[in-house]
Chains A and B, each alone.
Chain A
Amino acid sequence: MNSALYGLVVYGVGCVIPTPLDQTQQTPNYSPVFVTSQVQPRFGPLGPLSQSQLLSITMVASDANLDDTLQARLFELINGTLVATGQTTTLNPIVPAGDDATLRLGGFELALCAGKAPASIHYIYAVVADRGFQSPTSSVVSGNGLSDTNHWELSCM
């Protein structure tokens, strides 16, 4: 008798608090990560570059959420703040997907030392985000998005 009543109570609780369907179906958001072995030039010391040296930068990132659109943006660390350099691009999935469907490719071409003082050192950060950025100059990811960061230590001639 008691066990039957207990079972009824449990059944009732189950009716009152159903498990939300979207909770069971939601895919977790995984963070995008730079594939540092394939980013060129490799993160770390870079240069010295001349003011006019145009550099081709290959960005490679991985994101397990295949539907995420990844954006990469460049910043310079100035007085402890990431200041956008004006360079933002989308990293596109490889078509057709190869061995690793999570890979995304993109790049920049710019003269990193243009307008910089001779014999100066600069810290250039790359941020990859999976929900875009909050504003055109922000390093903060929109919504509940995730990001990865790495940097070059750039010396200019």
Chain B
Amino acid sequence: MHVRTHVALLAVSALFGLAAGGCTDGTPGAVVSCMPPECPTDTTLRLVAEVDPPNDSTWVRQEFASLTLDTQTGLFALTLDAQVTLSGTVRVGKGTGSQTIPATVVATRPSRIAGRPDVYYQATVNPITGEFALVVPRSLPGEQYAVRVTAINSSLVPPKQLMVTADGDQDVDLRFDDPLTLPEIRGALLDSLGQPVPGVQVQAIDTTTLAALSTTTTTDDQGAYSVRLVPNPPATVRVVATPTLPAAQLPSLTLDLSTAKLSPTNSMTANLHVPPLAAPAHITFKVVGMGTSGAEIVEKAATCVFTADVSDPNATDGVKASYRATAMTDLLGQVDVALIPMASGNRTYAVIVSPDSQSDLSATATTVSIAPGMGYGKDIVLPLRPQVSGQVLDPQGKPLSKLMVVPGASTVAQSLGPNMTLGIAVTPRQTVADGDGRFALRLDRGVWDIGLIPPADSMLPRLWLTNAVLDADVDVGPVMLPRGVMVHGVVHDPRGVALPLANVRLYTINELNAGCSSGDSNCLVPPRLRAEGSSGADGVLSLILPSQPK
């Protein structure tokens, strides 16, 4: 490993000669060389890397949980680890009577870089032979992949998942069991008058991971359904009935079932009853806020999601019912939405309003109370987004114009927030510094990291202002970018063969992440992108990083 790395570094040194380790003097457009160790890379940075080989390569995405950068020469090597092939055949049933089935095979595992999304590898299954070959990086000690095969037609067989240690090329048994041999849940979906409800999708899921544990079906004209569970299902599964058309204005139903109740014939019956509910009524809300001038402004393109628990409080069958309606505000700032009121009295809905990124108004979670016969609801008032402003200077103290300002969530939990869960995550506003290097942008209340991406011709490094608390306007004042130092790397395979056209991203990681348990999104701080590039035909790339502060 060391020998290979050394060889690679020597190769890069030969390519770049004395220019290796050259740094910028901060003058826009000018690059000067300084001999090491005059301007080594900032050694306080803890660097990690992700490498995306091109799609037509035999190599797949890999992460480097630590990156060794020679701070004297500015050289580094990204030596891809060995890959293994997980292969097999996807068929339904065993023996001569088995059949191929169109399916996809996906392998995932937590990223080796804490705070980054799970890595994801996908293979398609040959529709004729059922064969698949999925290439993944070799597992590190204790590391496993969740390999999941899902039929394209999810009504035929339930998905199958295996935990695999990818320590070498191997066959993975992803044959589906004959669905007729699998546990069955069947029943009917009926309204409060006992009439069948057709056209509702039914599926069983894991109560913890929410992963699908059954085939997916749709209730027929009699409201009947039947799903097949995975072999050896967990002790409790959740049956979920979801209206397929939003216009159906029906609640989603869930029912937790004990699989211990499966009969000797490996089946059980579970009827789902829609609770008695009033007819949905169209209610109009106006979404407003107060602008910077103090005048009222209407929010013209906000996504509004209304949700309420509409379960029957007197029900004894354990069925939970929830209703959800999504709509966008119009040019008048009004949102018209069909909501289910109580038969008498008020029903409370939770509302999440997500304005677009250019709005001055903040995303807000609130509640509204609706009564029967109500045509207009109270205005939904959004607070003004606090403004973060500042001025960016180059290392000589001159204003730096055309710099891109890119905010990022300060914790993984914030980036995943309630909006993300509902599928309405909005990327925060980005802006460009003006001729005086000044920037100002309005962001939702919270804690933000502010990324500063200098213009390409400045040859300066990116900088992150961390933990900017925005509950009121904040001026971060003048921010001086550090000098840049050019580092040079090579991407190659374990045999030393260079890998061209690979996208490389260098991140810095927060030391506090070491104290977080894996998956603790409230603790983990997202790694910050410091530099990205693409390797050339010789596998070599150059990047700008901050130089050692004096």
User: Which chain A residues lie closer than 8 Å to B118 at the CB level?
Assistant: 53-54
Q: Tell me whether A56 and B116 are in contact (CB under 8 A).
A: yes
B-facing mask of A80-116, CB < 8 A → 1, else 0? Answer: 0000101111101111111110010100111101111
User: Which chain A residues lie closer than 8 Å to B301 at the CB level?
Assistant: 135-137
Q: Tell me whether A41 and B120 are in contact (CB under 8 A).
A: yes
* Complex CA–CA separation, A114 to B31 (angstroms): 46
Q: A86-B303, A117-B242 in contact; A50/B501 too (CB < 8 A)?
A: no
* Complex CA–CA separation, A135 to B328 (angstroms): 15
Q: Is A65 an interface residue (CB 8 A)?
A: no
Write the nearest CB–CB distance from A102 to chain B, whole angstroms: 11
Which range holds the interface residue count of chain A? 35 or more
Q: Is A13 an interface residue (CB 8 A)?
A: no
Binds A, one of B77-85, B421-429, B467-475: B421-429
Query: Which residues of B524-548 have CB atoms within 8 Å of chain A's CB atoms?
Result: 531-537, 541-544
Q: Is B71 an interface residue (CB 8 A)?
A: no
Total contacts A to B, CB within 8 angstroms? 161
Q: Tell me whether B104 and A47 are in contact (CB under 8 A).
A: yes
Q: Tell me whether B426 and A119 are in contact (CB under 8 A).
A: no
Q: Is A58 an interface residue (CB 8 A)?
A: yes
- B420: contacting residue among A58, A97, A110, CB under 8 A: A110
A-facing mask of B26-57, CB < 8 A → 1, else 0? Answer: 00000100000000000000000010101110
* Complex CA–CA separation, A107 to B404 (angstroms): 15
- A118: contacting residue among B124, B242, B453, CB under 8 A: B242
Q: Is B61 an interface residue (CB 8 A)?
A: yes
Q: A98-B533, A136-B357 in contact; A37/B54 too (CB < 8 A)?
A: yes
User: Which chain A residues lie closer than 8 Å to B152 at the CB level?
Assistant: 155
Q: Is B411 an interface residue (CB 8 A)?
A: no
Q: Is B523 an interface residue (CB 8 A)?
A: no
Q: Tell me whether B210 and A51 are in contact (CB under 8 A).
A: yes
Q: Tell me whether A87 and B427 are in contact (CB under 8 A).
A: yes
- A interface with B by C-beta (< 8 Å): 36-42, 45-48, 50-56, 58, 60, 84, 86-90, 92-100, 103, 105, 108-111, 113-119, 135-137, 155, 157
Besides the known contacts A52-B210, A89-B406, 5 further A-B residue pairs in the complex with CB atoms under 8 A apart: A58-B503, A93-B456, A98-B535, A110-B425, A118-B242
